């Protein structure tokens, strides 16, 4: 796999050439593997709240946790573009605070860009962040941070009026200068329509095949998050029982005095021992 660091320009030029790959990561070991596997974009997602911290909502994670995760990920990454996901309340109060927090992802955590979810003042905030020189990925459709305002965790854009609103949002974000947009939980035909209208790449998260790329939560595809599995997730391996088996084996070996074996043990010469 090529080692050259992926740039925003590379992501833009991938549209209509080949599909863009994106996954989440929140820690050093997993980010190392995702990067080494040749994934184009790593999102330090606020889904960290659910899959790592065991919280019931992404609104419950803040800048402190997100920055710790983002720093661990960028330490691991050589090639993938790394995006910091703006947590709820880090950008909603006012555009100035949003710019300040976006800068922390770039300057303190070494991220390449930020992502923020659509909300009432999204355009105003996005414009200020882009004006400050920080690349922004938009996120429309099912936006988990404000899911209560959307009637819960439901597929969005299911009637013509709602779909029209999403098309307008996508076009407005492109006009402001976003370099890509996540489309979450949309009917595939609507996502395809938005993708055709945009010059920038669309990234599907449960929005079908007709987008320019795909993103999923890595813990979901690895079978490491057992609380719920959205319809759009494909589990590529079920690691949870494998990990549990290994841990049980360790437990048994400790109890049965089989671990540590000779090769895991430090020794001292007999003559030194005798001096004691
Ligand atoms: O936080 C997250 O994981 C996301 C998704 C788009 C996967 O925002």
The ligand 1 site (C-beta within 6 Å) comprises 24, 43, 45-47, 85, 182, 184, 205, 215, 217
Query: Does 114 share its domain with 47?
Result: yes
Q: How many domains does the chain have?
A: 2
Q: Mutation test of ligand 1: which of 30, 82, 85, 153 has the most ligand atoms closer than 8 Å to its C-beta?
A: 85
- List pLDDT tens digits, range 111-132: 999 999 999 999 999 999 999 9
pLDDT digits (tens, 9 = 90+) for 20-62: 999 999 999 999 999 999 999 999 999 999 999 999 999 999 9
Q: Note whether residue 2 is domain-resident.
A: no
Is residue 97 annotated as a catalytic residue, yes or no? Answer: no
pLDDT band at 133; cut points 50, 70, 90 = very high
Confidence of residue 150 (pLDDT cuts 50, 70, 90): confident
CATH (domain of 104): 3.20.20.60
Distance from C-alpha of 165 to C-alpha of 169, rounded to nearest angstrom: 6
Task: Give the domain extent around 257.
Answer: 243-275
Catalytic residue among 65, 128, 174, 184, which?
184
**Are residues 179 and 259 part of one domain?**
no
Alpha carbon of 147 to ligand 1 centroid (Å): 13
In DSSP terms, 212 is beta-bridged to none
Burial of 160 per CB tally in 10 Å (0-12, 13-18, 19+): exposed
Antiparallel, parallel or unpaired: β 213-216 and 41-44: unpaired
Asked if residue 156 belongs to a domain, the reply is yes
Among residues 26, 74, 76, the alpha carbon closest in space to that of 51 is found at 26
| Cα separations in angstroms, 149 against 120, 146, 181, 215 | 11, 6, 20, 24
Average pLDDT, rounded, for the chain: 96
Q: Is residue 1 part of a domain?
A: no
CA of 232 to the centre of ligand 1 (A): 13
Q: Give the pairing of strands 213-216 and 20-24.
A: parallel
Identify whether residues 231 and 258 lie together within a single domain.
Answer: no
Do 215 and 266 fall within a single domain? Answer: no
């Amino acid at each position: 796999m090529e080692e050259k660091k992926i740039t925003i320009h590379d992501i833009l030029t991938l549209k209509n050439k080949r599909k863009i790959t994106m996954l989440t990561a929140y820690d050093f070991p997993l980010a190392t593997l995702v990067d080494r596997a040749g994934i184009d974009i790593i999102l330090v997602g606020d889904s960290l709240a659910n899959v790592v911290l065991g919280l019931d909502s992404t609104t419950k994670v803040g800048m402190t946790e997100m920055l710790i995760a983002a720093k661990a990920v960028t330490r691991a990454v050589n090639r993938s573009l790394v995006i910091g996901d703006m947590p709820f309340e880090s950008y909603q109060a006012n555009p100035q605070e949003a710019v300040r927090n976006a800068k922390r992802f770039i300057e303190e955590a070494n991220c390449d860009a930020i992502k923020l979810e659509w909300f009432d003042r999204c355009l105003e905030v996005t414009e200020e962040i882009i004006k400050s020189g920080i690349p922004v990925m938009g996120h429309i459709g099912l936006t988990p941070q404000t899911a209560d305002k959307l009637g819960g965790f439901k597929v969005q854009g299911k009637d013509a009026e709602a779909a029209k609103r999403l098309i307008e949002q996508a076009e407005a974000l492109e006009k402001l200068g976003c370099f890509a947009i996540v489309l979450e939980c949309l009917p595939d035909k609507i996502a395809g329509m938005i993708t055709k209208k945009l010059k920038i790449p669309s990234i599907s998260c449960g929005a079908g095949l007709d987008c320019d790329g795909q993103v999923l939560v890595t813990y979901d595809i690895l079978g490491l998050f057992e609380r719920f599995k959205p319809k759009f997730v494909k589990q590529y391996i079920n690691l949870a029982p494998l990990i549990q088996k290994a841990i049980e084996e360790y437990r048994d070996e400790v109890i049965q005095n089989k671990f540590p074996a000779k090769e895991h043990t430090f020794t001292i010469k007999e003559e030194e021992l005798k001096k004691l």
